């Protein structure tokens, strides 16, 4: 087979995340456990977006749907009783508008690099399938009864990884024809007579299986060269007639409201602008012009979700953020915890990455005269 390699735009990704992952420990499946402040699956999705893959199907257990609905821009498909059945469900979902190629990846491999993804895609210009692997370098033994019973030649043996990439029509036909259990999609492909090229994998491309794997993944993330960007945001809204204000996604009772084209959530606006600013993407007005009537009265979580999703598409994640509200009243302290939790929920991060605090201006200026509320925000964005 000799064709032009597909582009990222012609490629879809299937992230298999329907398993229960009991060997990893914890109260929830491993793909939903936190890694460096975000769910494991959030890292995996971000890795594919950073590689230019915009069409992503996430295969989930039905019980996990409330968690998965927090991910913007992905298609959710319920898994089957086995891994190959889950993959088949995702392939069938894609078949209505088929891509040229598909990458099938373990949702619990969050450290996959753009280089590996690119190698797999490039190899599909030569073969129907391609997958990353590492040669076996350790001596291999056969065991019996706790004793070494013999040795095994390691020549030609490889440690398989994902993503495993295929021409879409070929792997869909292979899965439809293959009804026996399969260890992975390469086994399904080979049973259908497809050739699968081996491309270079990476030691960092680990699959989280046991509790110790999480510590290893955390260490890898810390050891990687970290590129960061800092952005700041500032916003002001005047008071008007009303009985509540929206601040950082929380409805706070007050004898006045905030005046604005949207819901005038001054804290969320400042944070959104900080994220846009860190990535040199302008401000809310560029993405959601106040001259456009569709944004009249819009909930500000739309803006914040857009900013964090756009950051992920460009290969960035939130390192941490800090929001300061400046006002005499209402009192922010009783609501700060709820604000922190709501901002974290919208952005899909751990609450310990989000700070919300307040100060007064000592009765000076427009905030001191209780004519409005100001907000300042700082966001640190980390390159994935």
Here the CATH number for the domain that contains residue 272 is 3.30.1330.50
Residue-averaged pLDDT of the chain: 93
> Of 291, 294, 290, 348, whose CA–CA distance to 318 is shortest?
348
Whether 106 is in a domain gets the answer: yes
Say which residue, 266 or 227, is predicted with more confidence.
266
Same domain membership, residue 265 and residue 345: yes
Instruction: Give the pLDDT mean for 145-150.
Output: 96
| Percentage of the chain exceeding pLDDT 70 | 99
| pLDDT band, very low/low/confident/very high, at 223 (cuts 50, 70, 90) | confident
State the pLDDT at residue 144. Answer: 95
Whether 306 is in a domain gets the answer: yes
Same domain membership, residue 137 and residue 260: no
Count of structural domains, the chain: 2
Q: Going by C-beta distance under 8 Å and a sequence separation of 6 or more, which residues neighbour residue 175?
A: 84, 87, 88, 91, 185, 188
Question: Tokens representing 261?
Answer: 């084209």
| pLDDT band, very low/low/confident/very high, at 1 (cuts 50, 70, 90) | low
Which of 183, 217, 251 is the endpoint of a domain?
217
Q: Going by C-beta distance under 8 Å and a sequence separation of 6 or more, which residues neighbour residue 119?
A: 130, 132, 199, 200
Please report, for residues 21, 98, 203, 225, 237, the alpha-carbon distance to residue 374 in angstroms, rounded to integers and kept in the order given: 46, 49, 48, 36, 7
Question: Backbone phi, then psi, for 365, in 5-degree steps?
Answer: 70, -170
Same domain membership, residue 156 and residue 32: yes
State the pLDDT at residue 227. Answer: 83
Whether 143 is in a domain gets the answer: yes
- Cα–Cα distance measured from residue 375 to residue 233, given in angstroms and rounded to the nearest whole number: 8
- Cα–Cα distance measured from residue 225 to residue 312, given in angstroms and rounded to the nearest whole number: 18
Q: Where are the beta strands (DSSP E) in the chain?
A: 11-17, 34-35, 38-39, 55-60, 75-78, 101-106, 129-135, 140-144, 147-152, 158-160, 164-167, 196-200, 228-241, 244-247, 250-253, 256-258, 316-326, 354-359, 372-383
Q: Are 373 and 236 in contact (CB under 8 A)?
A: yes
Question: Tokens representing 285?
Answer: 């007005």
Same domain membership, residue 320 and residue 249: yes
State the pLDDT at residue 291. Answer: 85
State the pLDDT at residue 2. Answer: 58
Segment among 15-24, 75-84, 343-352 with least mean pLDDT: 15-24
Which of 217, 247, 275 is the endpoint of a domain?
217
Same domain membership, residue 207 and residue 247: no
Question: Tokens representing 122?
Answer: 């490039």
State the pLDDT at residue 7. Answer: 86
Same domain membership, residue 232 and residue 210: no
Say which residue, 205 or 292, is predicted with more confidence.
205
Same domain membership, residue 201 and residue 297: no
pLDDT at 225 over 90: no
Whether 244 is in a domain gets the answer: yes
Whether 1 is in a domain gets the answer: no
pLDDT at 32 over 70: yes
> Of 33, 25, 163, 168, whose CA–CA distance to 96 is shortest?
168
Segment among 188-202, 221-235, 355-369 with least mean pLDDT: 221-235
Same domain membership, residue 169 and residue 263: no
Q: What are the tens digits of pLDDT across the range 129-146?
A: 999 999 999 999 999 999
Domain range spanning residue 351? 228-383
State the pLDDT at residue 222. Answer: 80
State the pLDDT at residue 180. Answer: 86
Instruction: Give the pLDDT mean for 69-83.
Output: 92
State the pLDDT at residue 383. Answer: 84
Same domain membership, residue 239 and residue 195: no
Question: Tokens representing 186?
Answer: 């390469």
Same domain membership, residue 238 and residue 345: yes
Instruction: Give the pLDDT mean for 39-50.
Output: 94
Same domain membership, residue 130 and residue 26: yes
Same domain membership, residue 282 and residue 206: no
Which of 168, 183, 217 is the endpoint of a domain?
217
Q: Are 358 and 326 in contact (CB under 8 A)?
A: yes
Whether 337 is in a domain gets the answer: yes
Q: What are the tens digits of pLDDT across the range 265-321?
A: 999 999 999 999 999 999 999 999 888 888 888 899 999 999 999 998 888 999 999
pTM for the whole thing? 0.66
CATH number, position 25: 3.90.550.10
Q: Are 111 and 221 in contact (CB under 8 A)?
A: yes
Whether 3 is in a domain gets the answer: no
Whether 222 is in a domain gets the answer: no
Q: What are the tens digits of pLDDT across the range 96-115?
A: 999 999 999 999 999 999 89
């Amino acid at each position: 087979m000799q064709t032009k390699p597909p582009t990222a735009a012609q490629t879809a990704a299937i992230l298999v995340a329907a398993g229960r992952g009991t060997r990893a420990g914890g109260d929830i499946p491993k793909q939903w456990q936190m890694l460096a402040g975000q769910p494991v699956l959030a890292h995996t999705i971000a890795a594919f977006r950073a590689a230019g893959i915009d069409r992503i199907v996430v295969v989930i257990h039905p019980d996990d749907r409330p968690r998965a609905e927090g991910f913007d821009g992905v298609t959710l498909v319920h898994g089957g009783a086995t891994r190959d059945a889950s993959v088949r469900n995702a392939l069938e979902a894609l078949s209505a508008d088929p891509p040229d190629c598909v990458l099938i990846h373990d949702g619990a491999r969050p450290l996959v690099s753009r280089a590996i993804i690119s190698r797999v895609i490039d190899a599909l210009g030569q073969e129907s399938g391609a997958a990353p692997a590492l040669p076996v370098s350790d001596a291999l033994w056969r065991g019996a009864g706790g004793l070494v019973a013999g040795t095994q030649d390691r020549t030609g043996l490889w440690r398989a990884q994902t993503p495993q990439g295929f021409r879409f029509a070929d792997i869909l036909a292979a899965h439809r024809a293959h009804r026996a259990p399969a260890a992975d999609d390469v086994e399904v492909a080979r049973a259908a007579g497809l050739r699968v090229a081996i491309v270079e994998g990476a030691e960092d491309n680990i699959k989280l299986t046991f509790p110790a794997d999480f510590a290893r993944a955390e260490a890898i993330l810390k050891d990687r060269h970290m590129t960061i960007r800092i952005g700041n945001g500032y916003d002001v809204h005047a008071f008007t007639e009303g009985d509540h204000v929206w601040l950082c996604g929380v409805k706070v009772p007050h004898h006045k409201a905030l005046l604005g084209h949207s819901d005038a959530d001054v804290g969320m606006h400042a944070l959104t602008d900080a994220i846009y600013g860190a990535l040199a993407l302008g401000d809310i007005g560029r993405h959601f012009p106040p001259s456009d009537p569709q944004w009249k009265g819009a909930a500000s979580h739309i803006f914040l979700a857009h900013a964090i999703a756009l950051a992920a598409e460009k290969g960035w994640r939130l390192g941490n953020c800090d929001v300061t509200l400046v006002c005499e009243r209402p009192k922010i302290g009783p609501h700060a915890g709820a604000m922190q939790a709501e901002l974290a929920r919208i952005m899909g991060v751990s609450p310990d990455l989000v700070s919300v605090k307040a100060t007064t201006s000592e009765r000076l200026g427009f905030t001191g005269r209780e004519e409005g509320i100001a907000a300042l925000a700082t966001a640190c964005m980390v390159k994935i």
